[in-house]
Chain A
Amino acid sequence: NAGVMQNPRHLVRRRGQEARLRCSPMKGHSHVYWYRQLPEEGLKFMVYLQKENIIDESGMPKERFSAEFPKEGPSILRIQQVVRGDSAAYFCASSPKETQYFGPGTRLLVL
């Protein structure tokens, strides 16, 4: 059983561009979570999704960030008009219920 997959592993964007981060959950897992890890700030929850539904987006910045988990295909975290402060590691986790299993992360660098 493959683990949680994320791609790309590394992403470089210039200020103002868009970043799309993909997450494929483990087989049989219907819950997907996104977290952001910033230096000196630790891991912070962003959003919790189930298929075609956003369940909890209380950790998402109000602007420029969006997430989806379509019926078919991976979950996508989209960041529009990136700024340098968006540089971070973004982790996806999937779970059958409360226990979450993490992917390797996408490290976003904004130049």
Chain B
Amino acid sequence: AQSVTQLGSHVSVSEGALVLLRCNYSSSVPPYLFWYVQYPNQGLQLLLKYTSAATLVKGINGFEAEFKKSETSFHLTKPSAHMSDAAEYFCAVIISGAGSYQLTFGKGTKLSVIP
């Protein structure tokens, strides 16, 4: 069965510092991988996705993620945190070829940005 593990339920960074949110997945077949962001009392907004093209994926708001098959990881990074990045971030996976495109989510990481 597929699963997604996000290390760290809470991450705090200073404004201007590097943001690194970790995501590892388990899958025996090539997955589709996604990062979503959720602001309080809102829906999920797609940040970026990996669908078997380039392994380094650039998304919105300056975020990017790198797919590393050998490490089964898809960590999210941003060089310089902004106050507006404070939100909850979810990593998710779809197992390609399974017939259903249901997303399996990690438990989420709440990012706090300290002024």
Asked whether B46 lies within 8 Å of A99 as measured between CB atoms, the reply is yes
- Contact residues of B between 80 and 112, Cβ < 8 Å to A: 90, 92, 94, 96, 99-108
Range class of the A interface residue count = 20 to 34
> Nearest CB to that of B36 among chain A residues?
A102
Asked whether B45 lies within 8 Å of A102 as measured between CB atoms, the reply is yes
Smallest beta-carbon distance B13→chain A, Å: 22
**Chain B interface residue count, Cβ-Cβ cutoff 8 angstroms:** 25
- Contact residues of A between 1 and 57, Cβ < 8 Å to B: 4, 6, 31, 33, 35, 42-45, 48, 55-56
Asked whether B108 lies within 8 Å of A98 as measured between CB atoms, the reply is no
Summarize A's interface: helix, strand, loop or mixed. strand
Asked whether B104 lies within 8 Å of A104 as measured between CB atoms, the reply is no
Q: Which B residues are closer than 8 A to A by beta carbons?
A: 32, 34, 36, 41-46, 49, 51, 90, 92, 94, 96, 99-108
Q: Which A residues are closer than 8 A to B by beta carbons?
A: 4, 6, 31, 33, 35, 42-45, 48, 55-56, 58-59, 91, 93, 95, 97-105, 107
Given contacts A45-B104, A99-B49, 16 further A-B contacts (CB under 8 A): A33-B101, A35-B103, A42-B106, A43-B92, A43-B108, A45-B102, A48-B101, A56-B100, A93-B103, A98-B32, A98-B51, A98-B101, A99-B51, A100-B101, A102-B46, A105-B43
